Amino acid sequence: MRDPVFRSEAGAVEVMREYRAVLDHWPVPKQEIELSTSQGATFVLACGPETAPPVVLLHGAQANSAAWRPDIALWSSRFRLYAVDMIGEAGLSARVRPPLIGDTYAIWLDDVFTGLGFARAALVGTSLGGWLALDYAMRRPSRASALALICPAGIGRQKNFLLAVAPYLLLGAWGKRKIVEKVFGPAPKHLPIDLEAISPLMESISRAIKPRAVKIPQLSNAALEALAMPLLAIVGGRDALIDSYDTRLRLERHVPNAEVYFIEEGYHFLPDQSQRVFDFLVRSLQGHDPHDSKSCPASDE
């Protein structure tokens, strides 16, 4: 059976080796958890005080929970973090990619919440992980205490990135560098230490993974208007994958309680947002009683 995630098993082995190297030097004490779910094994990295408000972290496509390394020290000082390796991505969870249409991913996250022993949590998601957080909050509103979204898919129009960069594929190494720049912005002369720590892993993933060539479902206006929980969205004006102007407009029209930070010169990758997300979580979850999150209620659907 063909692997839907990696181009080769050798590439998968290299990614897992690099991932393990990052996990072995995690900046704070951690617990590694493997859950059994409807979609197979799911890996979760937990850290922070066990009695603190729970926050579920959902990384983007072509990544894994190592992507949160720059944020983890600050956020875990106040919250119990659960970084979930998304199924079908370059992590330690099952290599399955069910369709994004429907409630399959919500049912999977139900299993994650149940396995971790809480009913309600804040969700922080970036890119595809932002869509995952939105989709779950739409289908399970009682389980999402707050949403912090960084360059989220699922609100603004999805751009045809592959068509836009197709000419660069013919231009060798230079063309590949230009494609990377369109997503991440110009490479800095010196990477911050936290990004340097995960850089070899991200390079291995880019060589080994099969990108998801799918249209990501958009939330309807009615679904956006039903999002009553505190919501933060951070988007970049030069995002090559998502129309951030459309994201901002739809949120302003349909989610008036949303806090939207529009970074005019920002790309799809927006570093240095740790403090902004942390402050939002503190405001949104202050007064939270951790006992409210302990038992799983019936589904919202």
Distance CA 144, CA 250 (A): 20
Residue 300 maps to a domain:
no
Query: How many structural domains compose the chain?
Result: 1
With contact defined as beta carbons under 8 Å apart, do 129 and 287 qualify?
A: no
> Beta partners for 122?
55, 146
Domain of 176, CATH number, reads 3.40.50.1820
Instruction: Tell me the angle at which helices 104-116 and 128-139 cross, rounded to the nearest 10 degrees.
Output: 80
57-79, pLDDT tens digit by residue? 999 999 999 999 999 999 999 99
Distance CA 219, CA 217 (A): 7
State residue 235 phi and psi, 5-degree precision: -135, 155
The pTM of the full predicted model, rounded to 2 decimals, is 0.93
Residue 293 maps to a domain:
no
- Name the nearest CA neighbour of 177 among 200, 211, 197, 203: 203
Structure confidence at residue 188 (pLDDT): 76
Residue 111 maps to a domain:
yes
Residue 289 maps to a domain:
no
pLDDT confidence tier of residue 80, bands split at 50, 70 and 90: very high
Residue identified by tokens 């139900």 is: 110
16-34, pLDDT tens digit by residue? 999 999 999 999 999 999 9
Structure confidence at residue 1 (pLDDT): 67
Residue identified by tokens 């072995």 is: 24
Structure confidence at residue 126 (pLDDT): 98
- Write the CA distances from 127 to 2, 3, 64, 98, 130, integer angstroms: 26, 23, 12, 18, 5
239-269, pLDDT tens digit by residue? 999 999 999 999 999 998 999 999 999 999 9
Residue 190 maps to a domain:
yes
Residue 209 maps to a domain:
yes
More reliable by pLDDT, 80 or 167 = 80
With contact defined as beta carbons under 8 Å apart, do 233 and 264 qualify?
A: no
Which range of residues forms the domain containing residue 239? 9-283
Residue 217 maps to a domain:
yes
Residue 267 maps to a domain:
yes
